[in-house]
Each structure stands twice: as C-alpha cells, then as structure tokens.
Amino acid sequence: MREVFHQSLEDVQSRLVEIAELVTVAIERATKAFGTSDVTLAEEVIEADQVIDDKAIELDELAIQILARQQPVARDLRIVVAALRVSASLERMGDIAEHIAQLTRMRFPERAIPKGLKSTFTKMGEIDVQVANLLTEILRTEDLALVEKLRTLDDQLDDLHLSVFEKVLSENWQGEAGATVDATLASRYHERFADHALSVAKKVAYLATGEWTPDTDSIAVIVAADLAAVRENADGAEA
Amino acid sequence: MREVFHQSLEDVQSRLVEIAELVTVAIERATKAFGTSDVTLAEEVIEADQVIDDKAIELDELAIQILARQQPVARDLRIVVAALRVSASLERMGDIAEHIAQLTRMRFPERAIPKGLKSTFTKMGEIDVQVANLLTEILRTEDLALVEKLRTLDDQLDDLHLSVFEKVLSENWQGEAGATVDATLASRYHERFADHALSVAKKVAYLATGEWTPDTDSIAVIVAADLAAVRENADGAEA
C-alpha cells in the first residue's frame, strides 16, 4: 500500500512538471507572437490553453482520488493539498499566456507592442520564459536555492513593469489611448505571470522546510507606492 | 464521530460565509473610497485585507486538519477540497478590493475616477457590491437559483468593462495617459471581482449537482473580440 501511495505522489509530481512544461511552451510562443505580431502563432497559443486546463482538471481529480483512497496524513497530506494549489496557479499562468496572445490577435495586423516599448517588452518576455523554465526545474528538483533566483527574476519584472508606467506617464509619451491601454494590460500580464510562479515556488519551499511565507500583496503595494512617486515627479516636471 | 465531522463541515461553511462577509465590506468601502476620493477609507480597506488573508489561511489549516483526522470520502471530501478553492478565490477578491483602494490612494488628492467615467464606475461599484452580497447568500444557502442572478450581474459588468474601452478609444476621449492607465486598471479590477465570484458560485453548484462547468476564459475571449470590433470602428471613424 505504501509503495502504491508513493507511486501516486510521484505521479502527482510528474504531472505538475508536465503542466509546467506546457506553460513554458505557452509563454515562449505567446511572447514571441506578441513581439513579432505573429497572429497564427497567437491563435495556436489560444487553442493550446485548453490542454493545460484539461491537464489541471485531471490532476485535481487524481489528487482527490488519492485523498479518498489512501487517506494520507502529515507531510504527504500537505503535498497533495499543495498540488491542488499549484495546479490552480499553473492553470492561471497558462491563462496569462493566452491573454498575451489575445492582445496580439486583437491588434493584428498592427504591432501589438506600442512604439517605444519594444525593448522593454522583449526583456519582460525573456524573463517570463526564464521564470517558467526555473519553476519547472523547482517542481522537478525541489531545489530551494532556485527559489531565490526566481525571486530575483520577479524583482526584475517588477522594475520593468514600473518602467512601463514611467514611460507612459512621461511627457515624451506619444502613444494614443489605445497604445496606453495595450501597454498597461500587457505589462500587468507579464508581471502577474512571475507573481504566480513565485507563489508556486513558495508552496514548494513550504513543503520542503515547513516554514510558510504568506503570499502578501507586498509587490503590488510597492509598485503602487513607486507609481505614485513617478506621478509626483511627472507632475513636478509638467509644472 | 460522524457528528463531530458534520460540525466541522458546518464550521468550514460558516467560516467561508464569514470571509465572504468581510470581502463584501471591503468592496463596499473600496468602491465608496474610489468614488469619493476618500483616502482615509482607502487606507482602512488596505489595512483590513490582512484580516481576510489570515482568515483564509486559518480556514485552510482547518480543512487540512479535517482531511487528516476525519478522512472524509465522496461528497464530504469534495466539500473540503472545494472549500480550499473557494477560500483562495475569496482571498483574491479581497486583494482586488485592496487594489481599488490603492488606486484611490495613489491618485489622492486628485480624483481617482477619470473624467467622463464617473457614472460607469459608480455602476460597476454598485454591481460588485451586489455580487459580493449574492455570493455570501449562495455560500450560506446553497440556493442555485441565485447563481443565475450572479451570472446576469457578471454579464452587466462585462458590458460596462467594454464600455470603458469604448470610451477610452473613442475620438472624444480627452484623458491624458495617466487617466487611461487608471481607467484600464480600475475597469479590469471591477470586472475580475465578479469573475472570481462566478468561479466560486460554480464550485458551489458543482457540489450541489455534481455537474462541473469548467472555468473557461470565455468572458475574456469575448471581451477581447468585442474590443477588437470597437477598435475597428474607431479606426474607421478616424479614417
């Protein structure tokens, strides 16, 4: 019985890794489509999201079966519960890749990336792909040293997210309202992607160490505060 | 033992209702602060979000304890698993109320609502409060007739969300980039709040009927498609 149980837990883990790999492919292709205005690729990302959703539902059913049949306790129980959480976050990361692809399709045949923000969004896309690869590795290896790397990437994305607002709110910004809407949504999607990844990584860290770092909204709060400062400076420059 | 178990399940339900009530207060106050540029009220909402987060973590711990000690099966097991999901969604709804409060604080002493969108955001705020009240009622009563009402409110919010983009992308829009950013973020927060509520209601419906309606992204897809149409019209008007 214990052996069967450990096989099930390994099955849970390998399925999480598999979903994380699909999410990695999704964000790679979504950010590539976004950067090159490739509407065909964008549509492929949108269509493929259903596979991620289905796999997440299958994993949840497996987790519920394990709870029902094998009634795990202690750390094993927490692993199964954490898997339910992780699958929800991965599914949401897939949705975000889909949203980025939708922005691309919506703008086609025009460029999805507003003028003056090409290099910023290229960097954000590259970091999101690194984030997805690193998260897959963390799920596979439970190597907590990698969580710190993920945090560093998340900080870089927060800085880039802020720089988008700096650009949009500066007096040099020539974009029309449509470009401002696109920049705001795209930047938020890129930044949220890493937030979800960090939230998954924290759950893995919790399972390995037993120490819980709550998912506070501190990053959003910091961005809001910094954004307020950016605005004050912009107002000062205008006056 | 069964009696203890059913007391625990009742405890889970009453805690979910309690968190939903706190979320209702949060969105009431956040939308009021946003509408009246009341920075003191906004700060109270931001501070109070920690209580919602703490209560969600406590509920999760209770659910894990129930799984460990009472090893529920069949429908009882699904109730506990669903509670874990519902608490995550409620916590996220609290975060959204906090984000709306942060927008208010960031803009202060200026008005948080961009010119020309006052009545739209007032309506969105009123509907979000109705959504939160209705969701609390659904969690309390498991009355599935109410889920349809929630869906209607969600549709109304989607229409209003779309109308914000119509306004911002129209040639009459006089707002500067800052106002466009605010309108985009605020509208998305108001609309996402109801999405999460509908996702919770679907889980309650699933528990009551056993029939699962997956959380597709269809609403986002519809909005994206409509938004593309709005843009085409706007481009046509410009040409």
Contact at CB, B49 and A188, closer than 8 angstroms: no
d(CA B102, CA B97): 9
Instruction: Identify from A96, A106, A202, A238 which residue to disrupt to test chain B contact, counting B C-beta atoms within 10 A and taking the largest count.
Output: A106
pLDDT in tens, A138-178: 999 988 899 999 999 999 999 999 999 999 999 999 889 99
Query: CA of A175: which chain B residue's CA is closest?
Result: B177
- Count CA atoms closer than 13 A to A152's CA, side-chain side: 7
Domains of chain A, residue spans: 2-238
Tokens of B215: 């959380």
Dist CA A152 CA A157 (whole Å)? 9
Q: Is A216 left (phi over 0), alpha (psi -120 to 50) or beta?
A: beta
Instruction: Give the SS3 label for residue B112.
Output: coil
Structure tokens belonging to residue A164: 């988008």
The pLDDT tens digits of the residues spanning A76-93 come to 898 899 899 899 999 999
A184 touches chain B (CB under 8 A): yes
From residue A39, how far is each of A42, A101, A104, A178 by CA, in Å?
A: 5, 8, 7, 19
Q: What is the CATH number of domain B2-238?
A: 1.20.58.220
Interval A3-46: pLDDT, tens? 777 888 899 999 999 999 999 999 999 999 999 999 999 999 99
**Percent of chain A at pLDDT above 70?**
85
Distance in angstroms (rounded) separating the CA atoms of residues B140 and B47: 26
With CB atoms and an 8 Å threshold, state whether A177 touches B181.
Answer: no
Q: Do B178 and A184 touch (CB under 8 A)?
A: no
Which of B217, B221, B235 should one mutate to test binding to chain A, selecting the residue with the greatest count of A CBs within 10 A? B217
What's the average pLDDT block by block, 10 residues per block, for chain B (239 residues)? Answer: 78 95 98 96 97 93 91 88 91 96 92 92 98 96 91 96 94 91 95 94 76 46 48 46
Q: What's the CA gap between B169 and B159, in Å, rounded?
A: 15
Higher pLDDT, A106 or B211: A106
At A220, is the pLDDT very low, low, confident or very high (cuts 50, 70, 90)? Answer: very low
Q: What is the SS3 string spanning B191-238?
A: HHHHHHHHHHHHHHHHHHHCCCCCCCCHHHHHHHHHHHHHHHHHHHHH
Element (H, E) at B110: none
Q: Quick one: which of A183, A169, A185, A189 has its CA closest to A237?
A: A169
Interface test with A, best of B95, B215, B216, B238 (most A CBs within 10 A): B215
Q: Are the beta carbons of A181 and B169 separated by less than 8 Å?
A: yes
pLDDT confidence of residue A214? 52
Q: CB of A46 within 8 Å of any CB in chain B?
A: yes
Q: What is the mean pLDDT of residues A111-119?
A: 92
Chain A closest CA to B106's CA: distance in Å?
5
Chain centroid to Cα A32, Å, comes to: 16
- Residue B132 CA to residue B21 CA, distance in Å, equals 8
Q: How many CB atoms lie within 10 A of CB A2?
A: 8
Q: Which of B46, B165, B216 sits opposite A181 (nearest CB)?
A: B165
What's the pLDDT score for residue B76? 87
Higher confidence at residue A238 or residue A116? A116
Whether chain B has a CB inside 8 Å of the CB on A93: the answer is no
Cβ distance B180 to A180 less than 8 Å, yes or no, reads: yes
Minimal Cα–Cα distance from B160 to chain A, Å?
Answer: 16
DSSP-based three-state secondary structure for B175: coil
CA distance A164 to chain B (A): 11
Distance CA B189, CA B178 (A): 17
Q: How far is CA A61 from CA B40, B75, B81, in A?
A: 45, 13, 11
> Which residues contact residue A78 at a Cβ distance below 8 angstroms, ignoring those fewer than 6 apart?
A207, B64
pLDDT at B78: 87
Q: What residues of A are in contact with residue B73 (Cβ under 8 Å)?
A: 68
Lowest average pLDDT, out of A57-61, A174-178, A209-213, B108-112, goes to A209-213
Using the Cβ of A188 and the Cβ atoms of chain B, whether some distance falls under 8 Å is answered with yes
pLDDT at B92: 93
Q: Is B220 on the interface with A (CB under 8 A)?
A: yes
Minimum CA–CA partner of B89 in chain A: A88
How many helical (H) and strand (E) elements, i.e. helices and strands, does chain B have? 7, 0
CB A217 within 8 A of CB B98: yes
Q: Which residues of A touch B71 (CB under 8 A)?
A: 71
Cβ contact (<8 Å) for B181 and A184? yes
Q: Do A64 and B78 touch (CB under 8 A)?
A: yes
Closest to A26 (Cα-Cα) out of A126, A134, A101: A101
